[in-house]
Amino acid sequence: MHALVVDDKSPVLTLLTELLGKWGITVQTASNGLDAFTKAQSAAFDLYVVDHLMPLMNGVQLTKNLKSKVETKQTPLIFMSTQDLSDVEALAEYPLFDAVIAKPIEQELFYQTLKTLLPANTLRQSL
């Protein structure tokens, strides 16, 4: 399994790389939405973990771009935000997110979210 984690804060990238790596998920990172979209066009991923507020291209625009492409629209996407989750739910793009989690990230909630998103034939059984 291969995940793309997108956040402009290196401590968040490090944390998520460690959390996903514990379960054998290979992680590639990007520090903004533009970099992430470029990477998503050149490699296949099984999961996207996307931050809301980033420079160059925010998480909402990145999600819209990913969900508009045939190659990436079915890939599960976890949207992360420091904003109040009710504000995120009010976004017109909210239906594009497969799951939404609050930052700072709570490890158990993150793993429970993964369990619900990953198909049974992946590492979901190990989580």
Whether residue 127 lies inside any domain: the answer is: no
- 76 located within any domain: yes
> Would 67 be classed as within a structural domain?
yes
In a domain, 13, yes or no: yes
pLDDT value of residue 103: 96
Q: 42-56, 60-74, 88-102, 108-122 — which is least confidently predicted? A: 108-122
Residue-wise pLDDT tens digits, 14-47: 999 999 998 889 999 999 999 999 999 999 999 9
Assess if residue 126 is contained within a domain. no
Q: What is the CATH number of the domain that holds 29?
A: 3.40.50.2300
Strands in the chain per DSSP E: 2-6, 26-30, 47-51, 77-81, 99-102
CA distance 48 to 29: 10
Q: How confident is the model at residue 23, as a pLDDT?
A: 81
pTM of the model: 0.92
pLDDT tens digits for range 86-98 = 999 999 999 999 9
Residue range 63-88, pLDDT digits in tens: 999 999 999 999 999 999 999 999 99
Query: Domain residues for 89?
Result: 2-118
Q: Does 123 reside within a domain?
A: no
Tally the domains of the chain.
1
pLDDT of 43: 96
Q: Is residue 124 situated within a structural domain? A: no
In a domain, 93, yes or no: yes
